[in-house]
């Protein structure tokens, strides 16, 4: 408004004749006409149909075995025992048996699943300290207040890793055994590595700088979360590198699930040796469970899932079916629109002024 125009003369205040100022910018004005909408609908319907069928076939090609072991068989005893908090220190194991009808071809993934466990509660999710788990010494010694009430134990001793998320870490462990047709028991080798996102393992979670100290020395002066039996630097007794904040089980747990029912990766079938080079052969299996995690508090359930994967992920029928439903919806709409257009709009009678 306060522009000072340098021009003078009779037309000094004449506005510029630019396409922008005169609102004459060249433009494309699309319209919803029968010529564009109807073909588009039919085409979209066909595309969705094909996509849905393809996805469905892909999903059908995967195999999955789900076992709810919450109160399964002798696990019921453990379930009962865990109901009492005073027994928390005692170990309890149970065994679940199952069989596979068809060979699980290719990579087989072993998941543990929880139902009705709300990892997505706001206060729960906030109760962690990313600065501590990324290895900041300062936060190791004085964790963020967000970890409250799992920030420190008595006498201001810091908890590492602090917070409700770490404290509630799933601590059942599983041993999968293959019972061959000849009656031989073959332990199924599970890789307990490569379970996490690369970024989590390498960037988001780091141990504090060791400077030639052992992990135990680094974590000196901290306490493990109250529910843990072992300190964080002894989580994996078999692999010393897989300890501290970069323990994969911890990282997997710390990636909070979006919904109360979720499954998390426990291990991947090691296909190095027979008879598992092609995957999981058909036959009878059993899982030895060290039953530690109490679920009765939240009316939860625990399960293990064995599954093969495709490019599309695991056995989730939702998207294929959704695509097929959408496809038929579009087709229905397209037919309705065609009829409407044929009856009313085609001859342009309504369009006359």
Partner 1 sequence: RKLRANDREYNRSFKYATNAIKTSKYNFFTFLPLNLFEQFQRIANAYFLVLLVLQIIPEISSLSWFTTVVPLVLVLTVTAAKDATDDIVSTFHNISFWICVRFQVWWCLVRLRVRCEPPNNRLDRFIGTLTYGGQKYPLDNEKILLRGCTLRNTEWCYGLVLFAGQESKLMQNCGKSTFKRTSIDRLMNVLVLCIFGFLVFMCTILAIGNYIWEIKNGSNFTVFLPREKDNKEGFSAFLTFWSYIIILNTVVPISLYVSVEIIRLGNSFYIDWDRKMYHSRSDTPAEARTTTLNEELGQIKYVFSDKTGTLTQNIMIFNKCSINGKSYGDVYDYTGQRHDVSEPVDFSFNPLADGRFIFYDHSLVEAVKLENLEVHAFFRLLALCHTVMAEEKKEGELFYQAQSPDEGALVTAARNFGFVFRSRTPDSISIVEMGNERSYELLAILDFNNVRKRMSVIVRSPEGKLSLLCKGADTIIYERLHQSCSKLMDVTTEHLNEFAGEGLRTLALAYKDLDEEYFRQWKQRHHEASISLEDKESQLDELYEEIEKDLLLLGATAIEDKLQDGVPQTIEQLAKADIKIWVLTGDKQETAENIGYSCNLLQEEMNDVFIVSGHSPEEVRQELRNAQNSMKPDATVNSLLFPEEMGKSVNVIKDEVADGEYGLVINGHSLAYALESSMELDFLRTACLCKAVICCRVTPLQKAQVVELVKKYKKAVTLAIGDGANDVSMIKAAHIGVGISGQEGMQAVLSSDYSFAQFRFLQRLLLVHGRWSYLRMCKFLRYFFYKNFTFTFVHIWFAFFCGFSAQTVYDEGFITLYNLMYTALPVLGMSLFDQDVNDVWSFQHPQLYIPGQLNLYFSKKAFFKCAVHSCYSSLVLFLIPYGALQDTVRDDGRDLADYQSFALLTQTCLLFAVTIQLGLEMSYWTAVNTFFVLGSLAMYFAVTFTMYSNGMFLVVPSAFPFIGTARNSLNQPNVWLTIVLTSILCVLPVVTYRFLLIQLCPTINDKVQHARSPTPPPPPRRARIRRTSSRRSGYAFSHAQGYGDLVTSGRFLRRPAVSWSSGFPQVGRTTTGFSPMGRSAGYSPTGRPQNPKVADVEGTSLQMYRTMTDPPL
The span of 94-102, 114-122, 178-186, 231-239 binding partner 1 (CB under 8 A) equals: 114-122
Distance CA 337, CA 35 (A): 12
Q: Which two tokens stand for residue 118?
A: 């709300």
- The residues in 276-295 that bind partner 1, with binding defined as CB under 8 A, are 294
Among 144, 173, 177, 284, binds partner 1 (CB under 8 A): 144
Residue 142 touches partner 1, criterion: CB under 8 A = no
Among 74, 130, 288, 301, binds partner 1 (CB under 8 A): 130
Q: Which two tokens stand for residue 53?
A: 């069928």
Q: DSSP for 272-285?
A: TSTTSTTEE-SEEE
Are 60 and 320 contacting, i.e. CB atoms less than 8 angstroms apart?
no
Distance CA 49, CA 47 (A): 5
Residue 268 touches partner 1, criterion: CB under 8 A = yes
Residue 256 touches partner 1, criterion: CB under 8 A = yes
Q: Give least dist CB 295 to partner 1, A.
A: 10
Q: Give least dist CB 308 to partner 1, A.
A: 10
Specify the DSSP element, H or E, that contains 236.
none
Give 159's strand partners: 223
Residue 89 touches partner 1, criterion: CB under 8 A = no
Are 260 and 78 contacting, i.e. CB atoms less than 8 angstroms apart?
no
- The residues in 49-88 that bind partner 1, with binding defined as CB under 8 A, are 51, 55, 85
- The residues in 2-31 that bind partner 1, with binding defined as CB under 8 A, are 2, 10-17, 21-31
- The residues in 180-199 that bind partner 1, with binding defined as CB under 8 A, are 195-199
Comparison of 241 and 329: residue with beta carbon closer to partner 1: 329
- The residues in 308-347 that bind partner 1, with binding defined as CB under 8 A, are 309-314, 316, 318-319, 322-323, 326, 329-330, 333, 336-337, 340-341, 344-345
Comparison of 290 and 328: residue with beta carbon closer to partner 1: 328
- The residues in 221-250 that bind partner 1, with binding defined as CB under 8 A, are none
Comparison of 42 and 179: residue with beta carbon closer to partner 1: 42
Distance CA 46, CA 41 (A): 9
Give 173's strand partners: 290
Are 42 and 56 contacting, i.e. CB atoms less than 8 angstroms apart?
no
Among 43, 46, 203, 216, binds partner 1 (CB under 8 A): 203
Closest CA to 293 of 101, 138, 93: 93
Give 286's strand partners: 97, 177
Total binding residues toward partner 1, as defined by CB under 8 A: 106
The span of 128-136, 170-178, 214-222, 233-241 binding partner 1 (CB under 8 A) equals: 128-136
Peptide bond preceding 149 in cis form (omega within 30 of 0)? yes
Residue 121 touches partner 1, criterion: CB under 8 A = yes
Comparison of 85 and 274: residue with beta carbon closer to partner 1: 85
Distance CA 116, CA 259 (A): 8
Q: Give least dist CB 287 to partner 1, A.
A: 18
Are 71 and 86 contacting, i.e. CB atoms less than 8 angstroms apart?
no
């Amino acid at each position: 408004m306060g522009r000072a125009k340098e021009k003078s003369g009779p037309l000094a205040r004449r506005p510029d004749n630019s396409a922008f100022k005169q609102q004459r910018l060249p433009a494309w004005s699309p319209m919803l006409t029968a010529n564009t909408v109807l073909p588009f609908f039919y085409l979209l319907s066909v595309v969705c149909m094909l996509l849905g069928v393809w996805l469905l076939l892909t999903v059908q090609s995967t195999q999955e075995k789900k076992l709810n072991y919450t109160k399964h068989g002798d696990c019921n005893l453990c379930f009962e025992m865990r109901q009492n908090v005073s027994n928390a220190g005692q170990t309890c194991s149970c065994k679940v048996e199952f069989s596979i009808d068809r060979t699980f071809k290719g990579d087989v993934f072993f998941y543990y699943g929880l139902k009705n466990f709300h990892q997505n509660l706001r206060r729960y999710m906030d109760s962690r300290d990313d600065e501590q788990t990324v290895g900041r010494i300062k936060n190791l010694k004085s964790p963020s207040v967000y970890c409250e009430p799992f920030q420190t134990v008595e006498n201001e001793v810091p908890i590492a890793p602090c917070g409700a998320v770490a404290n509630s870490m799933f601590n059942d462990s599983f041993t999968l055994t293959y019972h061959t047709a000849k009656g031989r028991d073959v332990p199924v080798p599970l890789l307990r590595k490569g379970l996490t996102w690369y970024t989590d393992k390498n960037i988001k979670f780091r141990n504090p700088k060791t400077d030639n100290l052992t992990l135990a020395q680094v974590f000196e002066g901290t306490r493990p979360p109250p529910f843990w039996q072992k300190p964080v630097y002894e989580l994996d007794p078999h692999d010393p590198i897989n300890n501290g904040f970069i323990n994969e089980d911890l990282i997997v747990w710390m990636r909070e699930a979006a919904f109360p029912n979720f499954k998390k990766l426990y291990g991947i079938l090691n296909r190095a040796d027979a008879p598992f080079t092609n995957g999981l052969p058909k036959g009878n299996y059993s899982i030895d469970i060290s039953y530690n995690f109490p679920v009765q508090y939240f009316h939860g359930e625990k399960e293990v899932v064995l599954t093969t994967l495709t490019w599309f992920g695991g056995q989730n029928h939702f998207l294929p079916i959704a695509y097929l439903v959408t496809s038929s919806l579009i087709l229905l709409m397209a037919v309705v629109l065609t009829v409407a257009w044929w009856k009313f709009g085609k001859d342009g009678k309504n369009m006359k002024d």
